[in-house]
């Protein structure tokens, strides 16, 4: 069995902790490799190298840092197929879906290459007599990223390109379920010319996470995962004096108004609910049709499309939806569907009995599932299922639909389908959700905007990538300057006013 190790000092490094765990192919349920789980000492080693590398990297002109990222971007473009195959083998998503993930990450790299412009400060002459002020943004030092299994390339690229472009050194702790994509990107960064120690990958579990959260030389933590862990990361990290952005869970709704283009809404819901087997923090898992007629027509259109989903391994180019990531997660999704049915939801399409394709009987497959007559007191509405399960919550009017969205603890993403500009504008302005789509099912911002939710979907003050990412990974410094003019001055004992 092959062991997947770390990447430290611009080279692969075998684990030394003596701990590891299997890495599975979700399509087969089989394991041909294991991933090393770092000890606190191994984390300390990566951080120490980053501390040593930071002074030179932080002083490197931003344009030179951007050129290294430019070479990395070219590698992403020309080698995307190789990275996508690694992602599909460990996550289970289709090859095209993996390619889409890489493209969205690459867009953040393109944004980060513009860092020389983004890092410009401001200057004001003569804020007082013979006194000038200017500001600059400076790197924090060593920063770390803790990333989830579902986007092993894109989510790290939400973080490290901006952090590196701003002059920081970066330690990445990827998910132990999907560890290999991070290593491939680390190799390419080294090949692109990134100096030794500037970027490291440390595989691991909670021991590695807790050491990063406690380490005095780690100045900031970026995290994406479930809300309970996001809350732990934020609470622990800030208690240790760190800057933290921690993105948590989601329960994204789509309101379908009576005037909506139902064909558009149906197709949008299919991709948003069942793409990547629903394992997306921006997946639409709740449809809120307004009016009984809208609900009945929507379900009528959804059912044949869900039943016709092509489900199988990523190796089959006809596959539209792959397996879930682990056996344990498959059992969790099944149990939540069981609970929904027990609590009174109507099971319209049941994916629990899906028969895997021949040769993949051990894979973690489940079919697309549709639940109707779901109400806000049900577990399937409250909990993030993170699987191919769409719940329909019927609303009598727009106000009731908006109230359903408003009462949920999460506020990550939301969509509304309508032809009414006033309804859409009112909804976008009033809804307490961080990312809103109008006739757009998955409103993930482009890289030059910033990504993040509200309420229990985000802990911290800064969203990821875009302008917010630059602000997160830098500190503002303002310098006020006066040069001797030969004019005698006297001591002042009152607050200076610069008049």
- Residues with catalytic roles: 281
| Whole-number Å distance between alpha carbons of 478 and 497 | 16
Tell me the residue ranges of DSSP E strands in 384-473: 389-392, 410-411, 413-417, 435-438, 454-455, 458-459
392, 403 contact by CB (below 8 A): no
DSSP per position, 23-84: EEETTTTEEEEEEE---HHHHHHHHHHHHHHHHHHHHS-HHHHHHHHHHHHHHHHHSHHHHH
- For residue 217 the two structure tokens come to 């030389």
Nearest-CA neighbor of 220 among 179, 163, 149? 163
Dist. CA 154–CA 107, nearest whole Å: 10
Buried b / exposed e over 169-180, threshold 16 CB at 10 Å, is: bbbbbbbbbbbb
Instruction: State how far the alpha carbon of 417 is from the alpha carbons of 92, 261, 297, 440, in Å.
Output: 30, 7, 14, 8
Helices (H), 193-244: 206-214, 227-239
Q: Three-state SS for 13?
A: strand
β partners of residue 31: 24
- Burial degree of 350 (CB within 10 A; 0-12, 13-18, 19+): middle
Sign of the C-alpha dihedral computed for residues 383, 210, 413 and 327 taken in this order: negative
Phi, psi of 73 (to 5 degrees): -60, -40
For 276: left if phi > 0, alpha if psi spans -120 to 50, otherwise beta; the answer is left
**Which residue is it, tokens 């995962």?**
225
**CA distance to 8, 189, 486, per residue, from 13 (Å):** 6, 16, 61
């Amino acid at each position: 069995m092959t062991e997947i190790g770390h990447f430290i000092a611009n080279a692969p490094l075998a684990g030394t902790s003596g701990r590891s765990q299997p890495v599975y192919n979700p399509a087969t349920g089989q394991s041909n490799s294991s991933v090393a789980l770092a000890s606190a000492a191994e984390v300390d080693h990566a951080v120490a190298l980053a501390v040593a590398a930071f002074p030179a990297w932080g002083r490197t002109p931003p344009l030179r840092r951007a050129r290294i990222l430019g070479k990395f971007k070219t590698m992403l473009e020309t080698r995307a197929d190789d990275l996508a195959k690694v992602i599909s083998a460990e996550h289970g998503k289709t090859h095209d879906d993996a390619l889409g993930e890489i493209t969205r990450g690459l867009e953040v790299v393109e944004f980060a290459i513009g860092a020389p412009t983004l890092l410009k400060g401001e200057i004001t002459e003569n804020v007082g007599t013979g006194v000038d002020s200017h500001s600059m943004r400076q790197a924090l030092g060593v920063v770390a990223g803790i990333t989830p299994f579902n986007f092993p390339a894109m989510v790290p690229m939400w973080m490290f390109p901006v952090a590196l472009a701003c002059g920081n050194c970066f330690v990445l702790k990827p998910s132990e379920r999907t560890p290999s994509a991070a290593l491939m990107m680390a190799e390419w960064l080294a090949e692109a010319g990134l100096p030794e120690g500037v970027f490291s990958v440390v595989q691991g579990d909670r021991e590695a996470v807790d050491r990063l959260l406690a380490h005095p030389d780690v100045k900031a933590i970026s995290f994406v995962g479930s809300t309970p862990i996001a809350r732990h990361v934020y609470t622990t990290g800030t208690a240790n004096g760190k800057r933290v952005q921690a993105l948590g869970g989601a329960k994204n709704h789509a309101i379908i108004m009576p005037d909506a283009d139902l064909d558009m809404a149906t197709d949008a819901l299919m991709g948003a609910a069942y793409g990547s087997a629903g394992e997306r923090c921006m997946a639409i898992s709740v449809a809120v049709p307004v009016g009984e007629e809208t609900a009945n027509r929507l379900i009528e259109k959804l059912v044949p499309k869900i039943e016709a989903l092509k489900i199988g391994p990523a190796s089959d180019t006809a596959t539209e939806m792959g397996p879930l990531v682990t056996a344990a997660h498959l059992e969790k999704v099944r149990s939540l569907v069981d609970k929904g049915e027990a609590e009174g939801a109507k099971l319209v399409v049941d994916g629990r009995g899906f028969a895997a394709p021949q040769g993949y009987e051990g894979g973690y497959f489940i079919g697309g599932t549709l639940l109707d007559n779901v109400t806000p007191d049900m577990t399937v509405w409250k909990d993030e299922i993170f699987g191919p399960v769409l719940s329909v919550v019927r609303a009598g009017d727009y106000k009731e639909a908006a109230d359903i969205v408003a009462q949920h603890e999460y506020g990550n993403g939301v969509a509304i389908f309508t032809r009414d500009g006033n309804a859409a504008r009112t909804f976008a302005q009033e809804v307490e959700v961080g990312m809103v789509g109008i006739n757009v099912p998955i409103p993930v911002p482009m890289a030059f905007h910033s990504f993040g939710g509200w309420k229990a979907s985000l802990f911290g003050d800064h969203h990821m990538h875009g302008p917010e990412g630059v602000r997160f990974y830098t500190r503002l410094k303002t310098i006020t300057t006066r040069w001797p003019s030969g004019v005698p001055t006297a001591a002042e004992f009152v607050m200076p006013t610069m008049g």
